[in-house]
Amino acid sequence: MRQEPNNQKYLSLISQITLALLLMLQCIVPQAVADDAHKIQLIKLQHRSAIEILTTIQPHLPEGTVASQKGQNLVLSGKATNLEQLEILIHALDQPVQGWRVFFAQGQVNLQDSQLKNIRHYSTHHSEVFEVLVREGAPARLERGFWIPVQTNNGSGYEIGYEWLASGFWVAVKPVGSELILNLSTHQIQPEKQALTQQPKFFGRQYEGEVALELGRWVTLGSEAQLAAKIPSASRRYTGGSTSEYYSICIEASHKASCSR
């Protein structure tokens, strides 16, 4: 009979623990249900088109999640936790469209050599610079002739030389690592089909090629005499101008000047 108080105390302790666990479950379960609840979310895009972002995220949608486009808005529906992850991805993709200024220089100054030696010219020697503004996904056209790289057969194999393209060409820019790949083509470039590391060459009268550049760094293709000496086909050789003229290319971000000139 003396053990009854102890048993009652034990049963009372068990009851208190059980009640505490039930209270904890009542707090946890609603939160878990809320996390898994089906929600609808509207995200307004600031920089990129809704169609572009929607196309990009479609392969990454979690099971049971649906995304659609309405104007410049994305409409998402699915579990709250999945929508949170999608929102992070969408904001990472919704960045301002990049733009670049591409400079094509022709003149008596070797701009690459001058930049490397940190020389500023205070003389009558000058270069005529032609600027092309290229935006991401929107190729632009250089409306004048210029030297371009081309693959040629020297008998024992292929080498890269340069030829004069008198009628101008289209220019597109593709960032690849620390470099910017400048695509050059006689026909308008389709950004969604823009290829990289292609060998520069002619197809009849059509040309396709590329040049790798770094921001703010001039690349001199050569002088008139040096370039003309590499031309195997007299039919494409440029015969005007001075043999001392240099041809150079440089690229800089549209919002920040970095090509010395």
Q: Specify whether 118 is located in the same domain as 176.
A: yes
State residue 247's pLDDT score.
Answer: 87
State residue 1's pLDDT score.
Answer: 46
Domain end, chosen from 77, 96, 115, is at: 96
pLDDT, one tens digit per residue, over 207-261 is: 888 888 999 999 988 777 666 666 545 334 443 444 578 889 999 999 999 998 7
Please report how many Cα atoms fall inside a 13 Å half-sphere around the Cα of residue 157, on the Cβ side: 2
What is the percentage of the chain residues whose pLDDT exceeds 70? Answer: 65
Q: Specify whether 204 is located in the same domain as 92.
A: no
pLDDT, one tens digit per residue, over 78-93 is: 999 999 999 999 999 9
Q: Specify whether 157 is located in the same domain as 249.
A: yes
Give just the sign of the alpha carbon dihedral 81, 87, 90, 91. Answer: negative
Would 248 be classed as within a structural domain?
Answer: yes
Domain limits for position 146: 99-253
Q: Specify whether 92 is located in the same domain as 156.
A: no
pLDDT, one tens digit per residue, over 43-63 is: 999 999 999 999 999 999 998
Helix 80-93 with 50-57: angle, nearest 10 deg: 120
Q: Taking a C-beta distance cutoff of 8 angstroms, is the pair 187, 170 a contact?
A: yes
Q: Specify whether 62 is located in the same domain as 126.
A: no
Between 21 and 180, the more confident residue is 180
DSSP letters of 15-67? HHHHHHHHHHHHHHHHHHHHHHSEEEEEEE-SSS-HHHHHHHHGGGPPTT-EE
What is the tally of structural domains in the chain? 2
Give pTM, 2 decimals.
0.66
Q: Specify whether 42 is located in the same domain as 136.
A: no
Domain end, chosen from 67, 96, 125, is at: 96
Mean pLDDT confidence for 124-138: 86
Q: Specify whether 104 is located in the same domain as 233.
A: yes
Would 225 be classed as within a structural domain?
Answer: yes
Q: pLDDT at residue 14 above 70?
A: no
Q: Taking a C-beta distance cutoff of 8 angstroms, is the pair 232, 93 a contact?
A: no
